[in-house]
Amino acid sequence: MLHINDLTYRIGGRVLLEGATVAIPKGHKVGLVGRNGTGKSTLFKLISGEITGDDGAINLRPGAKLGMVAQEAPSGPESLIDTVLAADAERTALLAEAETVTDPDRIGEVHTRLADIDAHAAPARAARILSGLGFDEEAQQRPCSDFSGGWRMRVALAAVLFAAPDLLLLDEPTNHLDLEATLWLENYLANWRGTILVISHDRTLLNTAVDEIIHLEELKLTRYAGNYDFFEKTRRERLGQQAKNRTKQLAEQRRIQSFVDRFRAKATKARQAQSRLKMLEKMEPIATVIEDKTISFTFPNPAPLSPPLIAMDEVDLGYEPGKSILKDLDLRIDMDDRIALLGANGNGKSTMMKMLAGRLTPQNGKIIKSKKLEVGYFAQHQAEELPEAETAYEYMQGLMEDMIEAKVRAHLGRFGFEQSKADTTIKNLSGGEKARLLFANMSRTAPHIMLLDEPTNHLDVDAREALVEALNTYDGAVVLVSHDPHLVELVCDRLWLVNDGECKQFDGDLDEYKRSLMEARRIQKDTAQGSTGSSDEARVDKKADRKARAEARAATSHLRKAVQKAEKEVTRLGQEQTKLQEQLANPNLYTAPSDELTRLQIQLGKVEKQLEAAEEYWLNAEADLEAATG
């Protein structure tokens, strides 16, 4: 389907690709990964013909149709459904011709082709795609101009999916989606029949929807079979073997060079020395393993506060008098809570976050907050408000006026801003670096609760893993809105569902929530098809089945929470054990005063005992849950 041969591309004197070669066969689903700034989006522009390479060739199968999400979101008076239908240019042209054509032979050809492309079913297919991306039937009839930029980008995505190109190019397709639409897209792409090349930092999408990975690194393209997890494992093994081979080669080179140095001057050994010297010259060097520095960061831990941090009693939220978006909120948040807000965009998740951040006053009810409560709030739009002419240090210094320079720089250092990066102007920072600067701002007061609204949009896979680790070692509460299932699963142990004007505890895990969404969509599809009679009875049975499963989840929710909490404690202690072992492996430690060595050994012993106890508790909790669920 696509062949890239010896491709080289330079921009502004910087080489992004050099001699890059890869092939994608027809029907394959491929994820394109690599650190931010390596040239992934540039490669898409080269494939689409928007820009031209300096050398090499890109060949698309003759006659193949290429599809990309339009950079300009649709914004005209046309309805959403009409906008999506218009994306199939052939169908649109044939329908227009059918209205005017008079030649009998051509009339037959037009209608035959319309039947071949299943044109009559197109409106239903377009409606299903729009529905999956979060547009109900009423919204589909409204003009594009009624919607914000993020929602209109969903329409652009729906249009390219509906057009069903032979080669589909998607660049971070989940960035404008909520979790519900992301889960739908994962399933839709997993069942796609054409060829896909997708740029994404969403680990779950790369594990669910693709079967190969192309890694852009060191100006080259390397193809791996399998999903993202398998790619990581394979690459780690390859790098490990490469490092071993290089070590062996260096040892062999030293041995040969030593022989040459010793016997080059001796007549009896001169020929052998010369032979070995030629062997040394012909030896193909094995490249040094150079891994990009992995970003890590840490959130400062807050001073403990008595529970609850926040308690709500019959709270109503809204922006206009008499019009409540959320009603009768009766919830609480404690220091050890890790909560994810679920629910489609527009249901009130952002309203809930604004109330928790103190930016929205309840219409009714009562909110109790600890007097010493510090709240950190992260939202994507804040990146647009950063002063681009200032450096990262100048920005933070303005926010931490009472702090000396060393403390401001130390705080920035927690988030990967070393000396040179801290003195870089904000306009020259990448999207991921700006996100980390916002993390630094949010946490500068060591908040007791952090509210994170889509924190991963500009973070690559490694930075997302660093965020997971930072959140899991942070001692305060976390309330999270994210379209990244991987982040939700690894960080949160409580799920609050925001839907139909309510925010309530969802007694189950993310997998159960996914299943509930799929079931709801099946019922919606059956209803749309006008099923009656026995299918009505089937829906009643499904409703009763859902109710029974919900009651079963509620009965075992305390056991699930115990398992999740125990698993996180084992992970935390395991990470602490690894850090202590790395410190004890440092040879310099054994030449220093013995007090530090003794302290680390004692600390490691304590952590190992705690880890053993935590593992036993985890196993017992798993056994209790298994016994309760059969």
- Per-residue pLDDT, 263: 58
- Per-residue pLDDT, 449: 94
Q: Is the pLDDT of residue 479 over 90?
A: yes
Partners of 60 in beta bridges: 2
Averaged pLDDT for residues 311-335: 89
- Per-residue pLDDT, 439: 92
This model's pTM is above 0.75: no
- Give the separation between CA 48 and CA 197, rounded to whole angstroms: 12
Based on the number of CB atoms within 10 Å of its own CB, is 492 exposed (0-12), middle (13-18) or buried (19 or more)?
buried
- Per-residue pLDDT, 29: 93
- Give the separation between CA 295 and CA 201, rounded to whole angstroms: 15
Q: How many CB atoms lie within 10 A of CB 437?
A: 24
Token pair 């522009």: residue: 45
Based on the number of CB atoms within 10 Å of its own CB, is 588 exposed (0-12), middle (13-18) or buried (19 or more)?
exposed
Token pair 């100006």: residue: 219
What string of H, E and C letters represents the secondary structure of 421-487? HHCCEHHHCCHHHHHHHHHHHHCCCCCCEEEEECCCCCCCHHHHHHHHHHHHHCCCEEEEECCCHHH
Q: Of 262-266, 325-329, 433-437, where does mean pLDDT reach its minimum?
A: 262-266
Q: Of 68-77, 202-211, 284-293, where does mean pLDDT reach its minimum?
A: 284-293
- Which tens digits make up the pLDDT trace of 152-190? 899 999 999 998 899 999 998 988 888 888 989 998 999
Q: Is the pLDDT of residue 478 over 90?
A: yes
Of 1.20.1250.20, 3.30.1540.20, 1.10.10.10, 3.40.50.300, the CATH number of 310-506 is 3.40.50.300
Give the residue, 522 or 277, on which the prediction is more confident: 522
Q: Is the pLDDT of residue 247 over 70?
A: no
- Per-residue pLDDT, 36: 77
- Per-residue pLDDT, 288: 44
Averaged pLDDT for residues 543-551: 55
- Per-residue pLDDT, 290: 42
Percent of the chain surpassing pLDDT 90: 20
Q: What fold characterizes domain 557-629?
A: Helix Hairpins (1.10.287)
Q: Is the pLDDT of residue 148 over 90?
A: no
How would residue 291 be classed by pLDDT, with cut points 50, 70 and 90?
Answer: very low
- Per-residue pLDDT, 214: 92
- Which tens digits make up the pLDDT trace of 90-128? 888 888 888 888 888 888 888 888 888 888 888 888 999
Token code pair at residue 256: 């040969």
- Per-residue pLDDT, 311: 92
How would residue 532 be classed by pLDDT, with cut points 50, 70 and 90?
Answer: very low
Q: How many CB atoms lie within 10 A of CB 270?
A: 12
Mean pLDDT of the chain: 82
